[in-house]
A and B are shown apart, each in its own frame.
Chain A
Amino acid sequence: MVTAAVQAPPLRLEGARKHYGKIVALDGVSFEVRPGELVGLLGPNGAGKTTAIKAIAGRVALDSGSVHVFGRTLTPRDPRPEVGVVPQELAVYPKLTARENLEVFGELYGVAPQALKARADWALEWSDLKDRTKEPVLRFSGGMKRRLNIACSLLHSPSIVLLDEPTVGVDPQSRERIYEMLRALQKSGVSVVLTTHHLEEAEQRCERILIIDHGLIVASGTLDELVRSTLGSRRAVHVMLDAAWPATEAMPGGARVGEDGRSIQADLPDLGGSLARLIDGIGRAGRTVTDVRLTGSTLHDVFIALTGRELRE
Chain B
Amino acid sequence: MSTIRPLLRIGYLNVRRDRVVLAMVFLLPVMFFSIFATVFGNQRDSTARIRVAVADLDQSDYSKKIVAALGAEGGLQVRTTENADGTGAVLDREKAEDLVKKGALAVAVVLPKGFGTSGRFFNRDASAPKVELLADVSDPIAPQMVQGLLQKVSFTAAPDVLASEGMGMLEKYGGPLTPAQRASMAEWQKLLAAGGSEAAQVAANVGPAIDIVNVMQPGYGNVGIVSFYAAGIGVMFLLFSASGAGSALLDEEESGTLGRLVGSRAGMTGVLAGKWLFITMLGVLQLIVMFTWGMLVFHLPLLPHLPGFFVMTIATSAAAAAFGLVLATISRSRAQLSGISTIVILAMSAVGGSMFPRFLMSEGMQKMGLVTFNAWALDGYIKVFWRNQPVTELWPQVGVLLSLCALFLYAARMFARRWETL
Contacts and interface: CB of A to CB of B under 8 A. Distances in A.
A95 B422 contact: no
Contacts of B261: 108
B259 interface: yes
Contacts of B256: 87-91
A107 B17 contact: no
Interface string A124-142: 0000000000001000000
A16 to B, nearest CB: 14
A103 interface: yes
B266 A61 contact: no
Nearest to A91: B256
A174 to B, nearest CB: 19
Contact of B263 (A20, A85, A92): A85
A109 B14 contact: no
A59 B421 contact: yes
Contact of B422 (A59, A107, A136): A59
Given A60-B422, A103-B6, A109 B13 contact: no
Given A60-B422, A61-B421, A107-B6, A91 B17 contact: no
Given A89-B256, A152-B260, A110 B265 contact: yes
B421 A58 contact: yes
A108 B259 contact: no
B257 interface: yes
B263 A59 contact: yes
A105 B6 CA distance: 8
B5 interface: yes
Interface string B389-422: 0000000000000000000000000000000111
Contacts of A85: 260, 263
A60 B418 CA distance: 11
Interface in B125-143: none
Contacts of B10: 93, 96, 104
B264 interface: yes
A104 B259 contact: no
A82 interface: no
A240 B422 CA distance: 55
Contacts of A61: 421-422
B2 interface: yes
Given A59-B263, A107-B6, A109-B265, A93 B421 contact: no
Contacts of B259: 59, 87, 89, 91
A96 B13 contact: yes
A3 B2 CA distance: 34
Interface residue range, chain A: 20 to 34
Interface string A78-119: 011000010111111101100010011101111001000000
Interface residue range, chain B: 20 to 34
A281 interface: no
B9 interface: yes
B205 interface: no
A79 B267 CA distance: 9
Given A59-B259, A87-B259, A76 B3 contact: no
Nearest to A83: B263
A108 B265 contact: yes
A54 interface: yes
Contact of A91 (B13, B14, B18, B257): B257
A95 B421 contact: no
Interface string A144-181: 00000000110000000000000000000000000000
Contacts of B184: none
A57 interface: yes
Contact of B257 (A54, A76, A79, A92): A92
A105 B421 contact: no
B17 A136 contact: yes
A311 B97 CA distance: 78
Interface string A50-69: 00001001111100000000
B255 interface: yes
B120 to A, nearest CB: 76
A95 B2 CA distance: 22
Nearest to A94: B255
A99 B349 CA distance: 42
B410 to A, nearest CB: 19
B14 A96 contact: yes
Interface string B332-357: 00000000000000000000000000
Contacts of A76: 421
A153 B264 CA distance: 10
Given A61-B422, A87-B260, A110-B265, 9 more contacts: A54-B422, A59-B420, A60-B421, A61-B421, A85-B260, A91-B256, A95-B18, A96-B13, A109-B264
Interface of B: 2-3, 5-7, 9-10, 13-14, 17-18, 255-257, 259-266, 420-422
23 contacts: A20-B422, A59-B263, A59-B421, A60-B421, A80-B263, A85-B260, A89-B255, A91-B255, A91-B259, A92-B255, A95-B14, A95-B17, A95-B18, A96-B13, A100-B9, A103-B6, A104-B7, A105-B6, A105-B260, A108-B6, A108-B261, A110-B265, A113-B2
Interface of A: 20, 54, 57-61, 76, 79-80, 85, 87-93, 95-96, 100, 103-105, 107-110, 113, 136, 152-153
